[in-house]
Amino acid sequence: DQQVKQNSPSLSVQEGRISILNCDYTNSMFDYFLWYKKYPAEGPTFLISISSIKDKNEDGRFTVFLNKSAKHLSLHIVPSQPGDSAVYFCAASGGSQGNLIFGKGTKLSVKP
Amino acid sequence: GAGVSQSPRYKVAKRGQDVALRCDPISGHVSLFWYQQALGQGPEFLTYFQNEAQLDKSGLPSDRFFAERPEGSVSTLKIQRTQQEDSAVYLCASSVYRDATGELFFGEGSRLTVL
Protein backbone atom coordinates (compact mmCIF):
# COMPACT_ATOMS: atom_id res chain seq x y z
CA ASP A 1 0.00 0.00 0.00
CA GLN A 2 1.41 3.37 -1.05
CA GLN A 3 2.29 5.57 1.91
CA VAL A 4 3.21 8.58 -0.27
CA LYS A 5 0.95 9.42 -3.18
CA GLN A 6 1.37 11.83 -6.06
CA ASN A 7 -1.90 11.55 -7.93
CA SER A 8 -0.98 13.71 -10.91
CA PRO A 9 1.48 11.95 -13.21
CA SER A 10 2.01 15.10 -15.25
CA LEU A 11 1.51 18.86 -15.19
CA SER A 12 1.95 21.45 -17.93
CA VAL A 13 2.41 25.13 -17.09
CA GLN A 14 3.22 28.28 -19.03
CA GLU A 15 6.52 30.00 -18.33
CA GLY A 16 6.14 32.69 -15.71
CA ARG A 17 3.07 31.15 -14.12
CA ILE A 18 2.84 29.22 -10.87
CA SER A 19 3.38 25.43 -10.76
CA ILE A 20 1.68 23.57 -7.92
CA LEU A 21 2.62 19.95 -7.30
CA ASN A 22 0.68 17.96 -4.74
CA CYS A 23 1.47 15.04 -2.47
CA ASP A 24 -0.57 13.07 0.06
CA TYR A 25 0.65 10.66 2.71
CA THR A 26 -1.02 8.09 4.92
CA ASN A 27 1.46 7.46 7.73
CA SER A 28 0.84 9.92 10.57
CA MET A 29 4.28 9.08 12.02
CA PHE A 30 6.07 10.81 9.12
CA ASP A 31 7.75 13.93 10.45
CA TYR A 32 10.08 15.04 7.67
CA PHE A 33 9.18 15.68 4.06
CA LEU A 34 11.34 16.41 1.04
CA TRP A 35 10.97 17.23 -2.62
CA TYR A 36 13.45 15.90 -5.14
CA LYS A 37 13.87 16.88 -8.78
CA LYS A 38 15.04 14.44 -11.43
CA TYR A 39 16.27 15.03 -14.96
CA PRO A 40 16.50 12.09 -17.41
CA ALA A 41 19.56 9.86 -16.93
CA GLU A 42 20.48 11.61 -13.68
CA GLY A 43 19.90 10.76 -10.05
CA PRO A 44 17.33 12.70 -8.01
CA THR A 45 18.62 15.96 -6.54
CA PHE A 46 17.34 17.51 -3.34
CA LEU A 47 15.17 20.59 -3.78
CA ILE A 48 13.54 21.58 -0.51
CA SER A 49 12.36 20.01 2.74
CA ILE A 50 10.03 20.69 5.63
CA SER A 51 9.80 19.39 9.17
CA SER A 52 6.43 18.54 10.66
CA ILE A 53 6.84 21.33 13.22
CA LYS A 54 6.46 23.86 10.40
CA ASP A 55 3.71 24.50 7.90
CA LYS A 56 5.73 26.42 5.33
CA ASN A 57 9.30 26.57 4.09
CA GLU A 58 10.51 28.89 1.37
CA ASP A 59 13.69 28.89 -0.70
CA GLY A 60 13.79 31.37 -3.54
CA ARG A 61 11.18 30.44 -6.13
CA PHE A 62 10.28 27.25 -4.27
CA THR A 63 7.86 27.01 -1.35
CA VAL A 64 6.62 23.86 0.35
CA PHE A 65 3.40 23.89 2.36
CA LEU A 66 2.47 21.19 4.87
CA ASN A 67 -1.06 20.52 6.13
CA LYS A 68 -0.68 17.87 8.80
CA SER A 69 -4.38 17.49 9.52
CA ALA A 70 -5.02 16.71 5.87
CA LYS A 71 -1.77 14.74 5.50
CA HIS A 72 -1.04 16.84 2.44
CA LEU A 73 1.88 18.81 1.16
CA SER A 74 2.41 20.89 -1.91
CA LEU A 75 5.33 22.43 -3.77
CA HIS A 76 4.84 25.84 -5.34
CA ILE A 77 7.22 27.12 -7.99
CA VAL A 78 6.82 30.75 -8.94
CA PRO A 79 7.62 31.98 -11.47
CA SER A 80 8.03 28.72 -13.40
CA GLN A 81 10.92 28.52 -15.88
CA PRO A 82 11.57 26.08 -18.76
CA GLY A 83 14.58 24.72 -16.83
CA ASP A 84 12.18 23.56 -14.13
CA SER A 85 10.87 20.89 -16.52
CA ALA A 86 11.68 17.61 -14.78
CA VAL A 87 10.09 14.85 -12.70
CA TYR A 88 9.39 15.91 -9.12
CA PHE A 89 9.28 13.33 -6.33
CA CYS A 90 7.74 13.82 -2.93
CA ALA A 91 9.38 11.81 -0.12
CA ALA A 92 8.77 11.28 3.59
CA SER A 93 10.52 9.77 6.59
CA GLY A 94 9.91 9.32 10.31
CA GLY A 95 8.45 6.96 12.86
CA SER A 96 9.81 3.48 12.32
CA GLN A 97 11.01 4.37 8.83
CA GLY A 98 14.75 4.84 8.82
CA ASN A 99 14.62 5.37 5.10
CA LEU A 100 12.86 7.73 2.70
CA ILE A 101 9.56 6.67 1.15
CA PHE A 102 8.97 8.17 -2.31
CA GLY A 103 5.89 8.93 -4.34
CA LYS A 104 5.67 7.95 -8.01
CA GLY A 105 6.52 11.42 -9.23
CA THR A 106 4.92 14.21 -11.26
CA LYS A 107 6.40 15.21 -14.60
CA LEU A 108 6.37 18.99 -14.90
CA SER A 109 6.60 20.62 -18.32
CA VAL A 110 7.08 24.39 -18.43
CA LYS A 111 6.28 25.79 -21.87
CA PRO A 112 8.12 28.90 -23.11
CA GLY B 1 35.02 12.36 -5.10
CA ALA B 2 32.58 15.19 -4.65
CA GLY B 3 29.43 13.16 -5.15
CA VAL B 4 28.03 9.64 -4.97
CA SER B 5 29.57 7.50 -7.69
CA GLN B 6 27.94 4.37 -9.11
CA SER B 7 29.27 1.80 -11.54
CA PRO B 8 28.58 0.48 -14.03
CA ARG B 9 26.20 3.13 -15.40
CA TYR B 10 24.68 0.57 -17.75
CA LYS B 11 24.63 -3.20 -17.50
CA VAL B 12 23.02 -5.72 -19.85
CA ALA B 13 22.73 -9.22 -18.44
CA LYS B 14 21.34 -12.45 -19.78
CA ARG B 15 18.64 -14.03 -17.67
CA GLY B 16 20.24 -16.21 -15.02
CA GLN B 17 23.48 -14.24 -14.90
CA ASP B 18 24.81 -12.74 -11.64
CA VAL B 19 25.50 -8.98 -11.49
CA ALA B 20 27.26 -6.70 -9.04
CA LEU B 21 26.60 -2.97 -8.77
CA ARG B 22 28.98 -0.70 -6.92
CA CYS B 23 28.35 2.47 -4.95
CA ASP B 24 31.02 4.85 -3.70
CA PRO B 25 29.33 7.28 -1.27
CA ILE B 26 30.39 10.76 -0.30
CA SER B 27 33.40 10.50 1.98
CA GLY B 28 32.43 10.52 5.65
CA HIS B 29 28.76 9.84 5.06
CA VAL B 30 27.37 7.50 7.68
CA SER B 31 24.27 6.16 5.98
CA LEU B 32 24.01 4.47 2.61
CA PHE B 33 20.77 3.54 0.87
CA TRP B 34 19.89 1.42 -2.14
CA TYR B 35 16.73 2.07 -4.14
CA GLN B 36 15.22 0.39 -7.20
CA GLN B 37 13.41 2.55 -9.74
CA ALA B 38 11.32 0.85 -12.39
CA LEU B 39 10.27 2.76 -15.49
CA GLY B 40 7.66 5.40 -14.68
CA GLN B 41 7.78 4.70 -10.96
CA GLY B 42 9.31 6.37 -7.93
CA PRO B 43 12.38 4.97 -6.20
CA GLU B 44 11.50 1.92 -4.08
CA PHE B 45 13.56 1.28 -0.96
CA LEU B 46 15.71 -1.85 -0.95
CA THR B 47 18.10 -1.64 2.00
CA TYR B 48 20.17 0.72 4.12
CA PHE B 49 23.40 0.72 6.08
CA GLN B 50 24.61 2.75 9.00
CA ASN B 51 28.38 2.48 8.61
CA GLU B 52 28.98 -1.25 8.00
CA ALA B 53 25.78 -2.40 9.73
CA GLN B 54 22.84 -3.31 7.52
CA LEU B 55 19.97 -1.95 9.59
CA ASP B 56 17.07 -2.59 7.26
CA LYS B 57 16.84 -4.98 4.32
CA SER B 58 13.08 -5.24 4.29
CA GLY B 59 12.83 -3.90 0.74
CA LEU B 60 14.98 -6.55 -0.91
CA PRO B 61 12.52 -8.34 -3.23
CA SER B 62 13.97 -11.84 -2.87
CA ASP B 63 16.88 -13.80 -1.50
CA ARG B 64 18.57 -13.32 -4.88
CA PHE B 65 19.38 -9.78 -3.77
CA PHE B 66 22.27 -9.20 -1.41
CA ALA B 67 24.02 -6.02 -0.31
CA GLU B 68 27.15 -5.39 1.70
CA ARG B 69 29.24 -2.51 2.98
CA PRO B 70 32.09 -4.31 4.74
CA GLU B 71 34.23 -1.33 5.71
CA GLY B 72 31.49 1.24 6.10
CA SER B 73 32.32 3.01 2.86
CA VAL B 74 31.88 1.40 -0.60
CA SER B 75 28.81 -0.79 -0.99
CA THR B 76 27.97 -3.54 -3.47
CA LEU B 77 24.51 -4.70 -4.46
CA LYS B 78 24.58 -8.21 -5.87
CA ILE B 79 21.76 -9.81 -7.79
CA GLN B 80 22.01 -13.55 -8.40
CA ARG B 81 20.30 -15.42 -11.21
CA THR B 82 18.85 -12.24 -12.70
CA GLN B 83 15.28 -12.25 -13.99
CA GLN B 84 13.60 -9.90 -16.47
CA GLU B 85 11.65 -8.24 -13.66
CA ASP B 86 14.96 -7.11 -12.15
CA SER B 87 15.37 -4.65 -15.05
CA ALA B 88 15.40 -1.20 -13.44
CA VAL B 89 17.64 1.67 -12.43
CA TYR B 90 19.39 0.97 -9.13
CA LEU B 91 20.04 4.16 -7.19
CA CYS B 92 22.47 4.57 -4.35
CA ALA B 93 22.28 7.47 -1.90
CA SER B 94 24.29 8.54 1.11
CA SER B 95 23.70 10.84 4.04
CA VAL B 96 25.75 12.44 6.77
CA TYR B 97 22.93 11.55 9.15
CA ARG B 98 22.43 8.16 10.78
CA ASP B 99 19.16 7.67 8.93
CA ALA B 100 16.94 9.47 6.45
CA THR B 101 16.11 12.43 8.68
CA GLY B 102 18.17 14.67 6.47
CA GLU B 103 18.94 15.11 2.82
CA LEU B 104 20.03 12.07 0.84
CA PHE B 105 22.55 12.60 -1.96
CA PHE B 106 21.93 10.30 -4.90
CA GLY B 107 24.25 8.89 -7.52
CA GLU B 108 23.30 8.79 -11.19
CA GLY B 109 22.19 5.18 -10.92
CA SER B 110 23.05 1.89 -12.60
CA ARG B 111 20.60 0.90 -15.32
CA LEU B 112 20.23 -2.89 -15.45
CA THR B 113 18.59 -4.55 -18.45
CA VAL B 114 17.98 -8.28 -18.23
CA LEU B 115 17.36 -10.00 -21.55
pLDDT at B73 over 90: yes
Provide the mean pLDDT of chain A: 94
Which band of pLDDT confidence, cut at 50, 70 and 90, is reported for residue B99? confident
A48 to chain B, closest Cα gap in Å: 9
A42 to chain B, closest Cα gap in Å: 5
Q: Please name which of A26, A102, A94, A105 lies closest in space to residue B36, comparing C-alpha atoms.
A: A102
Contact: A34, B103; criterion CB under 8 Å:
yes
Per-residue pLDDT tens digits for A31-47: 999 999 999 989 999 99
Paired residues of A19 in beta bridges:
A77
pLDDT at A97 over 70: no
Collect all residues with Cβ–Cβ distance below 8 Å to B79 and sequence separation of at least 6: B18, B19, B20, B21, B64, B65, B66, B86, B112
Per-residue pLDDT tens digits for B12-49: 999 999 999 999 999 999 999 999 999 989 999 999 99
Nearest CB neighbour to B108, from listed A4, A43, A98: A43
C-alpha gyration radius of chain A: 13
Give the residue from chain A lying closest to B55, CA to CA.
Answer: A98
Spatial contact of B102 and B94, defined as CB atoms under 8 Å apart: no
Cα–Cα distance for residue pair A19/A62, rounded to 1 Å: 10
Nearest CB neighbour to A49, from listed B48, B103, B107: B103
The SS3 of residue B21 is: strand
Q: What is the reported pLDDT for A96?
A: 67
**B33 near A CB under 8 A:** yes
DSSP letter assigned to residue B2: -
A75 to chain B, closest Cα gap in Å: 17
pLDDT at A98 over 80: no
Q: Please name which of B41, B59, B49, B38 lies closest in space to residue B93, comparing C-alpha atoms.
A: B49
Cα–Cα distance for residue pair A41/A5, rounded to 1 Å: 23
Sheet harboring B19-24: ordered strands across? B5-7, B19-24, B75-79, B65-68
Spatial contact of B32 and B23, defined as CB atoms under 8 Å apart: yes
Contact: A104, B109; criterion CB under 8 Å:
no
Provide the mean pLDDT of chain B: 94
